Amino acid sequence: MATPAIREAIALERGTADDLDSVMIVMEQAFGSHFGEAWTRSQCAGILPMTGVLLRLARTRDSGLAVGFSLSRSIVDDAELLLIAVAPAQQRRGVGRLLLEDFIEQARTSGISTAHLEVRDGNGAMSMYRDAGFAPVGRRRKYYHAPDGSAFDALTFMRKI
Ligand SMILES: CC(C)(COP(=O)(O)OP(=O)(O)OC[C@H]1O[C@@H](n2cnc3c(N)ncnc32)[C@H](O)[C@@H]1OP(=O)(O)O)[C@@H](O)C(=O)NCCC(=O)NCCS
């Protein structure tokens, strides 16, 4: 569970296309280009107007700086966490857990019954997902493609809401 201290320090809010600069700064810092997991600005801009897509931003309450975000999409009963990222300088403080719990809460209030996500095999986020009740349900071979030509499997995770 996210701690009271991190809830006190970080505010979550709905993001819009106006927040894309902040999203891309966190994206580039958090993912880098090594594993081919990051989305481009145009991929983000393209999905934002779609029905069921939700961008959530984590901002520090003192300065308003965006330190993390999640991007998800809901279709009928299912919600998929497409991206979650926290700026490296702010990692391991509980912001990722806060954003993940928020994704689940937003899905619950929208009447969603199942949450899905996928993650590169070996990504440290896997333990965060397991702790939040997600269980691995499948593997997509060579799903992520790095600029140097290497490919990495994705694991798919699921949990009931
Ligand atoms: C994954 C990510 C969002 C986690 O954000 P965070 O703010 O550091 O997460 P938290 O501090 O809430 O950590 C929650 C738990 O997740 C696990 N965890 C998070 N990052 C981890 C890492 N790099 N290695 C191992 N475990 C990790 C730990 O169990 C951690 O709890 P602990 O610190 O009490 O041990 C962040 O590391 C990130 O932006 N990574 C790059 C982008 C990415 O890979 N996103 C996921 C795929 S879309």
**Residue 36 Cβ contacting ligand 1 at under 6 Å:** no
143 is known as an active-site residue: no
Q: pLDDT digits over 11-29, tens only?
A: 999 999 999 999 999 999 9
Asked if residue 91 has its Cβ within 6 Å of ligand 1, the reply is: yes
Indicate if 129 belongs to the active site. Answer: yes
Distance 125 CA to ligand 1 centre (A): 5
What would the two tokens of residue 88 be?
């490296």
Nearest residue (CA) to ligand 1, atom 43: 85
Confidence of residue 36 (pLDDT cuts 50, 70, 90): confident
The pLDDT value recorded for residue 130 is 97
Structural domains of the chain sorted by starting position, each given as residue range(s) with its CATH number in brackets: 4-160 (3.40.630.30)
Q: What is the DSSP letter of 97?
A: H
pLDDT in tens, 63-114: 999 999 999 999 999 999 999 999 999 999 999 999 999 999 999 999 999 9
| Opening angle at CA 20, ends 71 and 150, nearest 5 | 65
